[in-house]
């Protein structure tokens, strides 16, 4: 059964590919209406994670953005640390 893992927790996804694509697309569409209450911009990354389970193109985009974000985070963290002598 397909699932999404967040640390030690796993959230199950439907077995049907059509249902997974519909859920992922719904999250992306809801994320575009992020200025409304309850719907939010948090829905965009969740939709990409769900869609990346079935689509190689979305998986590549998600991985590239994840690597770029982690590199930026590491650079940000290293600027705040005192220089070693």
pLDDT in tens, 4-37: 887 889 888 899 999 999 999 999 998 888 888 7
Does some domain include residue 71? yes
Question: What's the number of domains the chain is made of?
Answer: 1
Asked whether the beta carbons of 27 and 47 are under 8 A apart, the reply is: yes
Give the pLDDT of residue 53.
Answer: 87
The pTM is what? 0.71
Find the domain containing 38 and state its range: 3-80
In a domain, 37, yes or no: yes
d(CA 25, CA 59): 14
Residue 12 lies in a domain: yes
User: Once rounded to an integer, what is the mean pLDDT over residues 34-60?
Assistant: 87
In a domain, 55, yes or no: yes
- Does the residue 33 lie in any domain? yes
pLDDT over 60 at 85, yes or no: no
Secondary structure element (H or E) that encloses residue 10, with its range: strand 9-12
Average pLDDT, integer, range 59-84:
85
51-55 mean pLDDT: 89
Query: Would 64 be classed as within a structural domain?
Result: yes
Q: Tell me whether residue 13 is in a domain.
A: yes
In the prediction, which pLDDT does 57 show? Answer: 92
In a domain, 85, yes or no: no
Whether the predicted pLDDT of 84 surpasses 70: no
């Amino acid at each position: 059964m397909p699932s999404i893992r967040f640390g030690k927790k796993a959230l199950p996804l439907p077995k049907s590919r059509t249902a997974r694509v519909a859920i992922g697309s719904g999250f992306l569409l809801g994320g575009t209406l992020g200025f409304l209450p309850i719907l939010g911009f948090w829905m965009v990354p969740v939709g990409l994670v769900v869609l990346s389970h079935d689509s190689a193109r979305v998986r590549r985009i998600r991985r590239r953005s994840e690597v770029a974000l982690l590199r930026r985070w590491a650079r940000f963290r290293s600027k705040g640390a005192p220089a070693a002598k």
